[in-house]
Structure 1
Amino acid sequence: MSYNWILFVYTTVVCASSILFDQTSSPILLSIIALLYIIVHFAEKKIVAATVFQISLLIAFHLYSQMDWCLPLYLAQMGKQFYKIRNINSASAVSLLYTITYALISFTYMPYSIYGMITILFSSFSCLIFTILFFRYIHVMEDQTQLLDNEKKHLSTHDALTGLCNYEECHRQLSQLVTARKPIALVLIDCKDLKSLNTTNGFIGVNRILKQAAQQLRMMFPNALIISRYGGDEFAIVLQSTDTLQPIETFSDQFAQEFPKLTGIEINYGMAFYPNDGSSKDDLIFIAERNLYTMKRESWLKREEHMLRSEKLRVVGELASGMAHEIRNPLTTVKGFLQLSKADNFNVGPWYDLIMDEITRMSMLTAEFLQFSKPHATKFKVHPIEPCIQRVISLLDSESGRLGHQIHFNADPQPFHMMMDQDKMLQLLLNLIKNAFEAMTDQGSVSIHLYSSDKNAVIEIADTGSGIPGTELDKIFLPFYTTKDSGTGLGLSICHKIVQDHEGTMEVESELDKGTKFIITVPLVFPDELHNSIQAY
């Protein structure tokens, strides 16, 4: 039930009681005053000086009703006024005025006696104390409500972690600045690699870094119009700007040098200026985000270039280390034989063949290394694949017969053409099949299957050898890696490079004691492309 309806019920009860107990001298006038009093309360927003009418009608109602029951009406009237009064002294003066009025009217109808006078004075004093306490209670509640409202507003407009404006509040304030047509500079900042720190520092450590970054931004830009946490690891700063070039130079120094030095965080940033870069908030944000993306892309490309350069240096180091190791062994052997020949009056006869074998081995090693590392002039022409495989089988026919191995070739009936260097393709197939022979200690078989798949020719070479352990499969294409007692470890690396030169892929599947399968996929040349190639030649 609302305040006015409670007042209506209570006023009606007091009016009826005064008439019923014969306390009023004019029941009709009392009823009219009560009705007017209620009407003024219900229509107070439409009546000028409604409070004055309410007080006047309350005094008249008390005077004609002649009942102490009017005291709660005085308290209710004071309570309404206390919502508008903020000063305790003013509230005390108002409550004192109401108390005196109540006491004076009560003296007019109460018979004179010591008890009656004390009762009136006690009631008046109690009314005064109650109203002052009520005033304090009202405003304590209002202050707490205002505090909660302010806290709620702050939480809805600020980031809980850093205390900066959040995304929505940043957009709202930025829109106001653009509407006011103030020349401003918007800077969007992205912290590099902050997400990756979660794995090393944990989210608590990353939160501490974000707080430190926010605090540093406040210190670096104390006159900023807006400092906002724009996203997870992004911040936004809005500064008043009258010159475009000066902020660019300043920001470049501060963000590229000062900020990383103070926080340990490298950043990318994008800037946009109003009104030079855009006439609306959305235009300004779009330009800033585009510039931020451009800087992130450049940073990413530099990092990739650095990683690629580091990887090249690592590979060169591994190649040099492997090459040095492979050459050192035969050199040590030759050195030993020469020392022995010196002791035998330089008679190298007994060791001549061994020395020549070691020298031949070094020559083969350097030749293979050059073939692997040095780019060669390739002669790509359109050739069918099947004759190339048949030729390899013919070349290995005598060796397979000597070792007791069998070669099975299975191909689809239609011809397959591709752009190839025949010599390189022969070398590739020879190496793979010879490796298969060496993997089969007992009599075994090598299966070659040629078929097409998605505009590609697929050559599968499978043996029945001992297989390769799963832990070794990722290493077999690395230079100088070998599981053989003899060999340079460059054979499969060269094969892999030949396939790459033919724009193909090379995969391996293996199972211990069951065999290994190499899968080579190379792009095909179709009849219309074949006709164009023939015309070109």
Structure 2
Amino acid sequence: MHLTINMIKLLYVPLICVLIIVSSVIMGKTPNVILTVITALLLILSVMLDRKYTWLKYIQFIPLGAFHYSSHLNWCILLYYITTINVIEHKTRHRDTTLIALLLILQYTFIRLSYVPLTTYNMLVSIFDVITALVTVLFFHVILRSESEKRRLKVKNEYLTNYDALTGFNNYSGYIKTVQHHIELNRGFQFVLFDISNVATKNFEDILVSFSRKLIEHFPNHLGACRYAGDNFGIMLSPREQMDVLEICENSGIKVTSSITHFPEEGSDFQDLIHIGEERILEMKQGNRNKRQEEQLRSEKMQMVGQLAAGMAHEIRNPLTSIQGFIQLSKKSGYNIEPWYDVIMSEITRVGELTVEFLQFSKPHESHMKAEVMAKCMAKVYSLCESEVTSYGHILEMESSDEDIMVIMDRDKIIQVLINLIRNAFQAMEQAGHIHFILSREGEMAVIQVCDNGKGIPQSEISKIFDPFYTTKEEGTGLGLSLCSKIIEDHDGYISVESEVGSGTVFTVKLPMYPANS
């Protein structure tokens, strides 16, 4: 806008002045040609120099009025409009601009009326000139405001296109331009990426702002910085800049994964650099994730070892205490242990059983895995358990909806699990009942269910039944179901239980089927 007004002044004011002088002389209007020429030169000179000496703007009305008076031509009104706009171009308040326009147009009117007769026409023309001046000022304001709004929107759009409103850093698009500029200059730099995606969502925006300030604080001389993809930051540093990621992370209180890529040694363009950087961050995050999982697994194993050790010590202490008591009693009877022989032997047998089951539970799983037909495995379990179940007065029924289901398994271990589940079922039934032994498929899983109509398990106990040494049987070790759970987990399957007191219990084992039959 400023450039346009200046061009109008420099191009048209001299031209208009020359036209008025020539026309005034030809029409015999000017009373003094020399004065007209001198005032015109003074006006043109003030217009040419007013950008350097701004005070000239505010006295241009003097040579303008003198030129108008000496030329005696109404065409000078165009010079008044140009002078008005020149004076008010930096003013925004209507009151100031309207006052300046009125004063200049009044000067024009008084000078005009000094050389024309005071007729009704000339008076009405003077009023029209005043209105025209006010309308010109109004239009100037409209145009000025429109241009200002365009500039503001352009700046805003450029900011939104290239910058992140939250942190003030470049966004992805703006950062590409910054990096490409340095690549075109062929200047070496470090391309550093930070990933903070593992922070909590609470106050996430505050964390982003805080971290961006930490980056600026640590790298005030950075070549460019950006935030992209929500929670990733990139910063461009000179090759000599030293970076201590640990210090940044400790001071910010945020867990950060970072990577550094060097231009031009490791990448020739932006895509190469960011691809290498993000690949390194993914590798670091995967390594950190694996490390955390290993630590968690180690912690869980140690916790389980502690529970097993405590439970084993407790379970073994009970029969040993009984044996010790009987030995002390036998001392008083001349070491005659015959009255307590059966009890002592039963306690020793119990210690032996505990030891065997504990060893089975704790020793590493030996792999004898191969594809087996699940129905044949269940038929073996049925043949082993049927007579025992019948001796308790119960009925064992086996159902199989798919005889071709195959599973990669250690056959003996799975048989051990299923026998244990069936024994638990018939031992839980106080009266004659039914046990259903069912095979089906569910998606890619083989499903084996052992259902009984016994007394059921209270909901308060269901969550504990797979814990080591938890048992409701008087002579149970509490390791049976724990061992079953471990075996099924070793086969990449899982075991669950549903029960309702008074209605019965359903144990469900799910194992991944052999791919050829899935």
Q: What TM-score do you get using the length of structure 2 for normalisation? A: 0.70
> Equivalent residues in 2 for 1:348-427 (5 A)?
348-375=337-364, 377=366, 389-411=378-400, 421=410, 423-427=412-416
Residue aligning to 2:293: 304
> Equivalent residues in 2 for 1:152-301 (5 A)?
153-154=158-159, 157-191=162-196, 193-194=198-199, 197-198=200-201, 202=202, 205-241=203-239, 250-251=242-243, 254-255=244-245, 257-301=246-290
Q: CA deviation at 1:141?
A: 10
- Structure 2 distance, partners of 1:474, 1:449, is 24
Unaligned 5+ segments in structure 1 are 1-40, 87-94, 112-119, 121-130, 529-537
- Structure 2 distance, partners of 1:49, 1:378, is 97
Q: CA deviation at 1:221?
A: 0.6
- Structure 2 distance, partners of 1:442, 1:488, is 24
RMSD between aligned alpha carbons? Answer: 5.0
Q: CA deviation at 1:463?
A: 1.4
- Structure 2 distance, partners of 1:273, 1:423, is 58
Q: CA deviation at 1:384?
A: 6.0
- Structure 1 distance, partners of 2:162, 2:475, is 72
- Structure 1 distance, partners of 2:237, 2:367, is 61
- Structure 1 distance, partners of 2:485, 2:357, is 14
> Equivalent residues in 2 for 1:34-53 (5 A)?
49-53=11-15
Seen in structure 2, the aligned counterparts of structure 1 residues 298 and 451 have a Cα distance that, compared at 3 Å, is closer
- Structure 2 distance, partners of 1:527, 1:207, is 51
- Structure 2 distance, partners of 1:145, 1:366, is 87
Q: CA deviation at 1:491?
A: 0.9
Q: Does 1:445 align with 2:434?
A: yes
Q: Does 1:81 align with 2:86?
A: yes
Which amino acid in 2 is paired with 1:81?
Answer: N
Do the aligned residues in 1 keep the contact of 2:226 with 2:233 (CA within 8 Å)?
yes
Q: Secondary structure at the match of 2:431?
A: coil
Identity %: 37
Q: Secondary structure at the match of 2:226?
A: strand
Q: Secondary structure at the match of 2:83?
A: helix
- Structure 2 distance, partners of 1:136, 1:523, is 79
Q: Does 1:478 align with 2:467?
A: yes
Which amino acid in 2 is paired with 1:210?
Answer: L
Q: CA deviation at 1:389?
A: 4.3
- Structure 2 distance, partners of 1:452, 1:363, is 39
Residue aligning to 2:454: 465
Do the aligned residues in 2 keep the contact of 1:186 with 1:237 (CA within 8 Å)?
yes
Q: CA deviation at 1:85?
A: 7.9
Q: CA deviation at 1:431?
A: 1.2
Which amino acid in 1 is paired with 2:219?
Answer: F
Residue aligning to 1:27: none
- Structure 2 distance, partners of 1:281, 1:524, is 48
- Structure 2 distance, partners of 1:55, 1:469, is 109
Do the aligned residues in 1 keep the contact of 2:448 with 2:509 (CA within 8 Å)?
yes
Q: CA deviation at 1:378?
A: 5.8
Do the aligned residues in 2 keep the contact of 1:461 with 1:518 (CA within 8 Å)?
yes
- Structure 1 distance, partners of 2:386, 2:466, is 27
Q: CA deviation at 1:447?
A: 1.7
Unaligned 5+ segments in structure 2 are 31-67, 92-101, 119-125, 127-135
- Structure 1 distance, partners of 2:162, 2:375, is 73
Seen in structure 2, the aligned counterparts of structure 1 residues 402 and 108 have a Cα distance that, compared at 3 Å, is same
Q: CA deviation at 1:238?
A: 0.8
Q: CA deviation at 1:328?
A: 2.9
Do the aligned residues in 1 keep the contact of 2:402 with 2:441 (CA within 8 Å)?
no
